Amino acid sequence: MERPELHWNCDEEKLYTVLLMDNDGIPEGNEYFNWVVHDIPGCNVADGKEALGYLPPFRVTANEDRTAVDKENPETTPFILLVYEQSGPIEFPKEQKGCNKDLFGPNRAWVRV
């Protein structure tokens, strides 16, 4: 899947983190991460470390066990894109990529922020 092309005012000597989060359809006070890239040198997202593989926009219907996807609703959902400057390299305990059983697991979905 093709990732979005991102541009921001950056310092080529610094590291950054990009978070792409669903802003709708998730229980209040929680977020679903569609993409997390960290240790991005300057603005070179392709050279960063992808902690959560990119998932294109889709509508999520949250149920109690957090596994339902509303396939009947073709609409996408609003997103929030955040770019953070890092103070140094960071480690993620686990990476998640593509469609698998961890797609709605605790490392990706409904993380209280």
- As a whole number of angstroms, the longest Cα–Cα distance in the chain is 46
**Rounded distance between C-alpha atoms, residue 18 and residue 47, angstroms:** 12
Residue 77 confidence (pLDDT): 72
Give the chain's domain count. 1
CA distance 28 to 83: 22
CATH number at residue 30: 3.90.280.10
For the stretch 1-42, pLDDT in tens is: 688 899 999 999 999 999 998 776 565 666 678 899 999 999
**Would residue 7 count as lying in a domain?**
no
CA distance 111 to 73: 24
- Indicate whether 76 pLDDT > 80: no
Q: What is the Cα–Cα distance from 12 to 8, expressed in whole angstroms?
A: 11
Residue type, 8: W
Judge whether 96 lies within some domain.
Answer: yes
